[in-house]
Structure 1
Amino acid sequence: MKSLRYYLGSFILIIFFAASCMSKPSTPNPPTQGNNDITGKVWKLTEINGKPIALKDPKSNPHFKLNMADMRYEGNGSCNGVGGTFEIKPEIMRIKFNQGMSTMIACEDLETEQLFVKALLSADNYSVNGNTLTLNKARMAPLAKFVLQ
């Protein structure tokens, strides 16, 4: 009887150790909380294709926010909501916005909105300088500049 308890206890210990050593599915590491972390913040558009934006309705400034919890971006192009998924590699400052959804309301600043959405979808990298975020495509001139809202 004593040997049965010994083997049963040993078997339980082996199972416990084996279970604790099993690998768990990996989850992406969130970016470090440094000054280059662009997630969880609202970024307001200030410049598109090298030119300051000129809005007919300054109250509806295009902006976006990156949500790491579900890897989605959301924002407003001026009068239409925009959103979708994104991929980010903060350690090398790479980003990719995937085509998502948008409402389709006509407005006075529709041209700026279309350029804003095009800049998001074209960007493949970014840079941060203080409170300014720049979205870029390869090594070309910046597509768009944003400031913290």
Structure 2
Amino acid sequence: MIPAYFRLLAAGLLLSACQTAGPAAQTGASPTTPPAPLRNTRWVLRQLGSEAVTVPAEGREADLLLRTEDTRVQGNAGCNRFSGTYEQPTPEQVRFSKLLSTKMACPALDTETRFMGALGQISYFRIVGDTLRLYAGPPAETAPLLRLEAVYTR
């Protein structure tokens, strides 16, 4: 005959082994990603206006990084590197100025030219999770000019 505490232990193990999903899946709640910080995050360009951005075979991903310590912005526009300054006059605004770029000859400059032009028009931003949207005017009144995603490196 098996002692009662062994039967209880076996029953508990069997019941716990049958559980297939954690509490979030059972209640219908979905985990949310907290907003990535605007500064000191590598933001990679995913959409320019209404068009998805693809990386050309001979190019790099367009990205930008806003540094905290000296309000400098730096990045890659696809072929050429750029840097400059930014200001954040209010918590929902950001403006880029004095953007300087290398001038290498690149086979596909259309996306790069449009990306750099859009950066010069930016006044507002909104971050939801790992997505940064940059706007020329207030987000409630304008469509985003750029959509970027946070990329984390180890």
Superposition TM-score, scaled by structure 1 size: 0.71
Q: Which residue of 2 aligns with 1:47?
A: 47
RMSD, matched Cα: 1.7
Identify unmatched segments of 5+ residues in structure 2: 1-33
Equivalent position amino acid for 1:94 in 2: Q
The Cα of 1:54 is off from its aligned counterpart by 2.8
Q: Which whole-Å CA distance do the structure 2 matches of 1:127 and 1:101 have between them? A: 25
Distance in 2 (alpha carbons) for counterparts of 1:58 and 1:49: 23
Q: Does 1:105 align with 2:104?
A: yes
Greater share of residues in helix? 1
Query: Relative to structure 2, which stretch is displaced further, 69-78 or 98-107?
Result: 98-107
Deviation at 1:88, TM superposition (A): 1.1
Contact persistence 1:55–1:109 (CA under 8 A) = no
Give the ranges of 4+ consecutive aligned residues of structure 1 lying more than 6 Å apart after TM superposition.
Answer: none
Q: Take 2:67 and 2:54, find their aligned partners in 1: how far apart are those partners?
A: 28
Counterpart of 2:70, as a letter, is D
How far residue 89 of structure 1 moved from its aligned partner, in angstroms, is 3.8
Q: Which amino acid aligns with 1:37?
A: P
8 Å CA contact 2:40, 2:68 repeated in 1 = yes
Q: Check the 8 A contact 1:73/1:84 in 2, yes or no.
A: yes
1:5 maps to what in 2? none
Q: What are the equivalent positions in structure 2 for 1:10-49 lying under 5 Å apart?
A: 35=35, 37-49=37-49
1:126 aligns with 2:125: yes
* Residue 143 of structure 1: aligned partner: 145
Q: 1:81-100 residue pairs with structure 2 within 5 A?
A: 81-89=81-89, 91=91, 93-100=92-99
| Partner Cα separation in structure 2 for residue 38 and residue 109 of structure 1 | 28
Q: Which residue of 2 aligns with 1:4?
A: none
Q: Does 1:114 align with 2:113?
A: yes
Structure 1: gaps spanning 5 or more residues: 1-33
CA contact (8 A) 2:36 2:130 kept: no
Query: Which amino acid in structure 1 is aligned with residue 61 of structure 2?
Result: N
Is the contact made by 2:36 and 2:150 (CA closer than 8 Å) also made in structure 1?
no
Identity of aligned residues (%): 26
Does the aligned pair in 1 maintain the 2:123–2:136 contact within 8 Å? yes
TM-score, scaled to structure 2: 0.69
CA contact (8 A) 2:49 2:144 kept: yes
Structure 2 equivalent of residue 26 of structure 1: none
Q: CA deviation at 1:100?
A: 2.1
